[in-house]
Amino acid sequence: MSAYTYRVRSQPDYPILKWDASGARHLLVILDLDTTSIADLCDSACPGPLEILLRGEATHPALVRFSKENVLIHSFASMDSLIAALENALDQATMGLRLYALGHEDGLWKCNKAGQKVGMSRDEIQLAQASTTGRPVYCVHCGQHMNLIHTNITLCAGCKRHLLVRDHFSRLLGAYMGFQIDAECPGFIPAVEEVFP
């Protein structure tokens, strides 16, 4: 029997973050404090000046090494304030910056969008999913964007339709597509299962 796992080509692949030695400066955005992922990144020294934007407390044990290396660490209480600070930092950045983002998918693609907005290429941005596989979902019926969906079927916060969370991912929208599950058989909703822990 084959060990093949079905995967839609549009689904992002998230490798482990590795410092890019070709970068002159490095900006690490930590959306979720995932100790294992941060520890993996900390195993090697950053090849240039490093600044960290963090959602959470800068006193986290995984960040101790960075605080000893004279790295600038900025902590933020909310995702919105972190993304605003990222956009500001990118607006002031010069050539040679490398952007690394670590966290849940919704936040990763907000970081990616901010980087692309200022002209960064895919090679200059690294994304790594950590802490949860909850998905960002875009309702194709009303345009509502929902975050951290853990189930195969979810209720749209906008139009109140029951949506099937598809495996198709839109990099432009930074979300998986959600389609009305009972469009052909109104009222027939299959069992809801947690499939994205």
Round to whole Å and give the CA distance between 146 and 54: 22
Q: Where are the domains of the chain?
A: 25-129, 135-180
Residue 114, amino acid: A
At residue 1, the pLDDT reads 42
CATH code of 25-129, in short, is 3.40.50.80
At residue 173, the pLDDT reads 94
At residue 127, the pLDDT reads 94
At residue 177, the pLDDT reads 97
Kindly report, residue by residue over 98-139, the tens digit of the pLDDT.
999 999 999 999 999 999 999 999 999 999 988 778 899 999
At residue 34, the pLDDT reads 67
Report the interhelical angle of 79-92 vs 105-117 (nearest 10°). 20
CA angle at residue 65 from 62 to 70, to 5 degrees?
A: 130
For the chain, which ranges sit under pLDDT 50?
Answer: 1-2, 4
